């Protein structure tokens, strides 16, 4: 996720469309030169109702961008619930469960929290289509990791182990049935959030939402200098490039927000949120040696 940086705002905005903007400027300049030289006098298309065409394209882009942002914001909301339920789970484990100094109790309680830390890291890597083993090595033993290597959905396998430990706590009397139900509901909420995130990841935007706005934008940018050149003359690149840049940027924004788990700088900051969860849960266990918080790198929070 790009964090606000006012000093670099103009630079980042221009850089955002990159080569497309450069190509548009070159095309506009070429049209003006050829027109002024008399080669394109017949192509001046001032009678084309381009403003109406632009209005229609603007509506299409606005609709597509609204749908893309809806996916991005739903992903952020789901991960917000993961942050909250992870804290609730650790709080219940560290305050509700009672083992009267039992050594096994201390080990199980610590493992239940560590499994939750491993779960959020594994889910992040699962959504980004990356291997999770290096991320969970700090909270799970090599033996536990080896047991997970054959699983297709590592986060689900980790939560299955959490459920088994929760059942163990009920069987030995560390919690009662009402407490088990409340803690199990936290796990259910986490499963629901994972399912929602996987739904977004595995259901791409309809391809018509991608190529139709892109095609219309390119046609609009192609016609724009031909319509403007007879009225603006040498100033055509200024007006045409500015208007074209806005449409190109809007088109790219929609495509960048379509997949909030694509491991790009436009994603929601999963790494930072997972690190926040890990710090919070380790603190609840009473640990003092905590990992550092994630900070933006070159204006991007991962």
Per-residue pLDDT of the chain in tens (302 residues, 90 and over written 9): 566 554 555 566 666 666 777 787 888 888 888 777 766 665 555 656 777 777 888 888 888 888 888 999 999 999 999 999 999 999 999 888 887 767 888 888 999 999 999 999 999 999 999 999 988 998 899 999 999 998 899 999 999 999 999 999 898 888 889 989 999 999 999 999 999 999 999 988 877 777 788 888 888 888 888 877 777 777 878 888 888 888 888 888 888 888 888 888 788 889 899 999 999 999 998 888 888 887 777 666 76
Q: For residues 268 and 261, give the distance between their C-alpha atoms in angstroms, rounded to a whole number.
A: 7
| Residue in the block written with tokens 């055509």 | 236
CB 139 within 8 A of CB 114: yes
Q: Give domain status of residue 63, yes or no.
A: yes
Q: Is residue 109 part of a domain?
A: yes
Residue 11 has a pLDDT of 60
Helix, coil or strand: residue 138: coil
What pLDDT is stored for residue 29 in this prediction? Answer: 83
Give the Cα separation of 201 and 256 in Å (integer). 14
The count of structural domains within the chain is 1
Q: Tell me, what DSSP letter sits at residue 175?
A: S
Task: For residue 85, give the 3-state DSSP assignment.
Answer: helix
Kindly state the tokens that stand for 94. 């560290």
Listed in sequence order, the residues at least 6 apart from 261 whose beta carbon sits closer than 8 Å to its beta carbon are 75, 127, 128, 197, 200, 201, 267, 268, 270
Q: What CA–CA distance (Å, rounded) separates 218 from 121?
A: 40
Residue whose pair of structure tokens reads 């990992």 in the numeric block: 291
Distance CA 20, CA 18 (A): 6
Answer whether residue 289 is part of any domain.
no
Closest CA to 250 of 288, 220, 289, 286: 220
In a domain, 238, yes or no: yes
Q: Which H helix or E strand runs over 92?
A: helix 50-95
Using CA atoms, how far apart are residues 181 and 191, in angstroms rounded to an integer?
15
301 falls within a domain: no
Q: With beta carbons less than 8 A apart as the criterion, state whether 122 and 194 touch.
A: no
151 domain-assigned = yes
d(CA 47, CA 283): 69
Say how many C-beta atoms besides its own lie within 10 A of residue 4's C-beta. 7
In this structure, is residue 36 part of a structural domain? yes
3-class secondary structure, 269: coil
Q: Is residue 268 part of a domain?
A: yes
Domain carrying residue 140: 6-284
What is the rounded CA–CA span in Å between residue 181 and residue 189?
A: 12
210/213 Cα distance (integer angstroms): 6
pTM of the full predicted structure?
Answer: 0.83
Query: Residue 155's pLDDT is what?
Result: 94
Contact call for residues 145 and 137 (beta carbons, < 8 A): yes
- String of b and e for 189-201 (b: at least 16 CB within 10 Å)? bbeebbebbbebb
DSSP 40: S
Instruction: Write the CA distances from 20 to 51, 240, 246, 251, integer angstroms.
Output: 22, 13, 12, 11
Q: Which residues, 6+ apart, have CB-to-CB distance to 296 below 8 Å?
A: 3
Position 4 scores a pLDDT of 58
pLDDT value at position 97?
A: 84
Annotate 274-294 with b (16+ C-beta within 10 A) or e (fewer). bbbbbbbbbebeeeeeeeeeb
| Residue 199 tokens, joined | 């739904």
């Amino acid at each position: 996720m790009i964090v606000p940086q006012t000093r670099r705002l103009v630079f980042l905005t221009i850089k955002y469309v990159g080569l497309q903007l450069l190509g548009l400027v070159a095309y506009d300049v070429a049209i003006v030169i050829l027109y002024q030289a008399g080669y394109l006098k017949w192509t001046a298309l001032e009678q084309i109702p381009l403003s109406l065409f632009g209005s229609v394209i603007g509506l299409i882009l606005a609709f597509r961008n609204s749908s893309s942002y809806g996916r991005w914001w739903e992903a952020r909301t789901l991960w917000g619930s993961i942050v909250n339920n992870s804290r609730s789970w650790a709080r219940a484990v560290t305050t509700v469960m009672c083992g009267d100094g039992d050594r096994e109790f201390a080990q199980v309680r610590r493992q239940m929290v560590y499994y939750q830390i491993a779960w959020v890291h594994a889910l992040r890597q699962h959504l980004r289509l990356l291997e999770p083993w290096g991320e969970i090595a700090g909270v799970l033993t090599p033996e536990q990791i080896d047991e997970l290597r054959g699983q297709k959905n590592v986060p689900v396998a980790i939560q299955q182990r959490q459920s088994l430990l929760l059942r163990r706590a009920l069987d030995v009397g560390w919690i009662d049935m009402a407490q088990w139900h409340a803690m199990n509901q936290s796990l259910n909420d986490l499963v629901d959030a994972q399912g929602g995130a996987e739904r977004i990841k595995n259901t791409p935007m309809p391809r018509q939402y991608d190529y139709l706005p892109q095609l219309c934008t390119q046609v609009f940018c192609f016609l724009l200098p031909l319509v403007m050149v007879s009225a603006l003359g040498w100033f055509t690149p200024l007006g045409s490039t500015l208007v074209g840049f806005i449409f190109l940027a809007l088109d790219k924004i929609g495509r960048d927000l379509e997949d909030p788990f694509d491991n790009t700088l436009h994603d929601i900051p999963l790494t930072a949120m997972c690190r926040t969860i890990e710090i919070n849960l380790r603190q609840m266990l009473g640990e003092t040696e905590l990992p550092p918080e994630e900070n933006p790198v070159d204006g991007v929070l991962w």
